[in-house]
Structure 1
Amino acid sequence: MRPVLEVADVFRRHGPAYRQAHADHLGRTERRVMAAIEACRTPALGGHVERCAACGFSRPAYNSCRDRHCPKCQGLARAEWLEARQAELLPVPHFHVVFTVPAPVAELAFHNKAAVYGMLFQAAAEALREVAGDRRHLGAEIGAIAVLHTWGQALHHHPHLHCIVPGGGIAPDQTRWVACPPGFFLPVRVLSRRFRDLFVRALRTAFAAGALRFPGALASLAERAAFGAQLDQLGQIDWVVHAKPPFAGPEQVLGYLGRYTHRVALANSRLVGLNDGQVRFTWKDYRQGGATKVMTLAADEFIRRFLQHTLPDGFHRIRHIGFLANRHRARKLALCRALLAAPPLAPRPTRRWQERLRELSGQDVEV
């Protein structure tokens, strides 16, 4: 059922004033996202007429914008992606590991999205590979699916990486599967320190190459001594890496992935009011046990917070690590299945996209 309110309603009603008020610093990507969401499934994008063969009832069906930031789009892409992951799930426990960066790094990331978000992926992937590959811990090659989220429940900028990791890996000689101890993945403290050190090193390298911007309040960090001192401080504090207990089974893994992979900053279903220039939406306060509350923001502030989470063009927010990396996934998964004595993957059938959408999501566009 279509939500009563949509982010598109906020943009259509208050977007023109927002564009005018922020004309000097509203970027091309943000403008494109706003325009796409406003036009999504409206006559502006064209469409077709759906007609019931039995009774003759007809209705217009307008095209989607397909922008990855749009709350209405990506349904088929998400369903197909999940179907592919379902076929690839190994019959082992899967762990959920979350990598979070300190506030100074998050602020730097906001002004250097492609560079610093890229470091987040690289540092997390390398930390996972190194610690898992160490014989003192697991001593194996692991795989992972990493998903970038840049928001918290109140739409503040809060970049963090969700990783789904099979509980084990391929032995160095590739002759056996090395399983994690029951209920335990890797030592989080070791993983956290390695992640921190790799990230700080990447920041030093990027600064030396002139690859970072320091606008506004960050201007003082453009000086080598100041930035070096900042990195020294970051290298002394604990960075948050959280490993959650393993999922109960493949269905729980897929359920989690379905909620998080193609998610946007705020789902339309969370909107509860749009009146007198105020936007009201639900959020969970995890400081109070995940209690559901309602937040009210001026439309201008709501749009600003939503647009904070636009990603650079071409930036991939879902990546695969280790034996799940795209370049050798098929070969490595076949090896994993052989080592686990699991049945090989069945070939995926070819079907029309309308049939696939109906089967995978329950949405029938041909009724």
Structure 2
Amino acid sequence: MLRWARKQGVEVGIFCALHTYGRQLNQHPHIHLSVTRGGLDIKHGVWRDLFFKKHAVEEIWRGAVIRLLRHGYDLINPGSLPGLGHIRDKKQWQRYLQAQYGRRWKVHFAKKTRGAWRSVKYLGRYLKRPPVSAAKLRHYSGGAVVHNYYDHRTQQYRQQTLAQEEMIGRYIRRA
């Protein structure tokens, strides 16, 4: 998106936070990203509005991530990752990544925020937030930990009970 905006002669603002976990402390790598809906015209120093087309952004994002992963085989060791144990060599990794071009990668476009301060507060919560806040911890009983989380699929709050070892392990992997 930054490269595309610069080709338009505009310098945009981008804030980003990487998360490796979901609300249940499960592996769920995702990125929270906020891009200004315009930017500073590089030549004239005036603000110019920009519009990002969702489908185009999804394709650009997928291509950029796949290119990055394609060159990172030795650093990533994909065969050791959950769900990718079948990948034994670089050739299989390349085939797997090539197949990703046939899949749709979802990019969620949130509604426009009202004011820059709201965007800063939103991203600030994600940058400083621990995997499970103390307020979400509900109960501990000599081996089991109960915590609340919000389930986006059902749009309801749920409780999850984990053995203390599992909870600590998930927390350490995500923190």
Amino acid at match of 2:166: E
Distance 2:152 2:80 in 1: 32
Query: Is the contact made by 1:146 and 1:163 (CA closer than 8 Å) also made in structure 2?
Result: yes
Distance 1:253 1:215 in 2: 36
**Which residue does 2:129 correspond to in 1?**
263
Distance 1:201 1:254 in 2: 30
Query: Is the contact made by 2:12 and 2:40 (CA closer than 8 Å) also made in structure 1?
Result: yes
- Structure 1 position 216, deviation (Å): 7.2
Equivalence map 1:201-216=2 (5 Å): 201-207=67-73, 210-213=74-77, 214-215=79-80
Is 1:170 the counterpart of 2:40 in the alignment?
Answer: yes
- Structure 1 position 134, deviation (Å): 4.6
Amino acid at match of 1:153: R
Distance 1:224 1:134 in 2: 34
Name structure 1 gaps, 5 residues minimum: 1-127, 311-367
Amino acid at match of 2:174: H
Is 1:146 the counterpart of 2:16 in the alignment?
Answer: yes
Is 1:297 the counterpart of 2:162 in the alignment?
Answer: yes
Equivalence map 1:27-66=2 (5 Å): none
Identity of aligned residues (%): 26
- Candidates 140, 143, 162, aligned match of 1:274: 140
Distance 2:46 2:166 in 1: 54
Aligned residues: 173
Distance 1:192 1:304 in 2: 33
Distance 1:251 1:176 in 2: 21
Distance 1:283 1:212 in 2: 30
**Which residue does 2:2 correspond to in 1?**
129
Distance 2:81 2:27 in 1: 17
Equivalence map 1:83-98=2 (5 Å): none
Go from structure 1 to structure 2 and tell me whether the alpha carbon gap of 1:162 and 1:233 turns closer, same or farther (over 3 Å shift).
same
- Structure 1 position 263, deviation (Å): 1.0
Higher relative contact order (CA 8 A, sep 6+): 1
- Structure 1 position 225, deviation (Å): 2.6
Amino acid at match of 2:4: V
Distance 1:171 1:251 in 2: 22
Is 1:235 the counterpart of 2:101 in the alignment?
Answer: yes
- Candidates 187, 192, 199, aligned match of 2:53: 187
Distance 2:18 2:138 in 1: 27
TM-score by length of 1: 0.44
Query: Is the contact made by 2:40 and 2:48 (CA closer than 8 Å) also made in structure 1?
Result: yes
Distance 1:175 1:227 in 2: 45
- Candidates 161, 169, 177, aligned match of 2:31: 161
**Which residue does 1:8 correspond to in 2?**
none
**Which residue does 1:197 correspond to in 2?**
63
Query: Is the contact made by 1:131 and 1:190 (CA closer than 8 Å) also made in structure 2?
Result: no
Go from structure 1 to structure 2 and tell me whether the alpha carbon gap of 1:251 and 1:172 turns closer, same or farther (over 3 Å shift).
closer
* Equivalent position SS for 2:33: strand
Distance 1:143 1:134 in 2: 15
**Which residue does 1:224 correspond to in 2?**
90
TM-score by length of 2: 0.87
Query: Is the contact made by 2:15 and 2:123 (CA closer than 8 Å) also made in structure 1?
Result: no
Query: Is the contact made by 1:141 and 1:171 (CA closer than 8 Å) also made in structure 2?
Result: yes
Distance 1:216 1:148 in 2: 18
Go from structure 1 to structure 2 and tell me whether the alpha carbon gap of 1:303 and 1:249 turns closer, same or farther (over 3 Å shift).
same
| Structure with the larger helix share | 1
- Structure 1 position 130, deviation (Å): 2.6
Distance 2:112 2:153 in 1: 23
